[in-house]
Structure 1
């Protein structure tokens, strides 16, 4: 029998994290076509409504039902606008560990939403689910993502050299793939006590 995360919603002071719904697709398309999202993630570009539909109706639910992780849409309480995505993946049920990734839309950056959303998932993961480790990987040049890792209390554990591909703008306005290092961050339940945003 496959172990799976429950179908859940998590609330914070400003946010609701919940499974994706059909009405999220247009905002998801806008978020995934943003320059920084294209640069630091492996999402297809251009990101189409068909890809958003596939993600929200099949891929994201299959992460949970297949036992690999869980995908949560991050919604702002006041506006009900999609501000981001938090994705637990590569879950190891025996070791009680998982890896987290996140994206924040350009309209919501600089507000602390990524740290707030990831911290809420971490507290649920360590508290309700009794997990013992969370891992986060950031591209060497992605300082915004590294700041989120530090805010939630992650410890830098090392560098995976030449382990990722990111995109960079070309002179003609296109994109080219470039190889980069990945910084590996780890978070254990006891690390949360020292987290600046906790």
Structure 2
């Protein structure tokens, strides 16, 4: 039984999702220091060049080779600029299920890039990798991420109470940890029918999507 994802690149009309390389380090560092990314993720803060180098050279490749998941840089097709990341994790090869997380760079929000990239990965998972379930978990206050889940056709399955630690910024600029609920979403192969039709007809949605 296959227990690792292939070393793959996935293309859409506007994007290329591919393995990270050295050219992504500066843009990845900048993206991860954005205030919204700090607030809703567990990434180190401040996020340094050394953190980005560790991610690009070791952590991201290890996600695939270990069988845990797959980490892809999301880049614009025309400019090749890094606009975000998509990360499959907590993969269960027996049940053919995995969890997806995503981040969009601050300058690229409002273009529908998160929706486009996550939907592309979902199609690839279900159609080429024969997966049966894709799961998302969004913090209760992360409405933009919830919009992405809804846009691709996910169903909300319930709430994990006090299951995540977010960060809130005080007036003096310092950050403090705060507990929050997680909303669990799922997408199954049959759910893609609902996402494909409207998405194909209306083109790329525009709203502030991130993480």
Name the TM tier (shorter chain): over 0.9
Greater shift in the superposed pair: 170-179 or 98-107: 170-179
Q: Runs of at least 4 residues of structure 1 off by over 6 A?
A: none
Counterparts of 1:70-81 in structure 2 under 5 Å?
Answer: 70-81=70-81
Q: Secondary structure at the match of 2:54?
A: helix
In structure 2, the partner of 1:113 is: 113
> What is the TM-score of this pair, normalised by structure 1?
0.98
Q: Separation in 1 of the partners of 2:2 and 2:95?
A: 15
Deviation at 1:160, TM superposition (A): 0.2
In structure 2, the partner of 1:197 is: 199
Instruction: Please report the RMSD computed on the Cα atoms of aligned residues, expressed in angstroms.
Output: 1.0
Is 1:38 aligned to 2:38, yes or no?
yes
Q: Secondary structure at the match of 1:197?
A: helix
Q: Deviations over 1:17-67 (max 9, x none)?
A: 000000100000000000000001000000000000000000000000000
CA contact (8 A) 1:2 1:66 kept: no
Is 1:62 aligned to 2:62, yes or no?
yes
Q: Separation in 1 of the partners of 2:188 and 2:133?
A: 5
- Where structure 1 has 5 or more consecutive residues not aligned to the other structure, the ranges are none
Deviation at 1:170, TM superposition (A): 1.2
In structure 1, the partner of 2:160 is: 160
In structure 1, the partner of 2:205 is: none
Aligned length in residues:
198
> What is the TM-score of this pair, normalised by structure 2?
0.92
CA contact (8 A) 1:115 1:197 kept: no
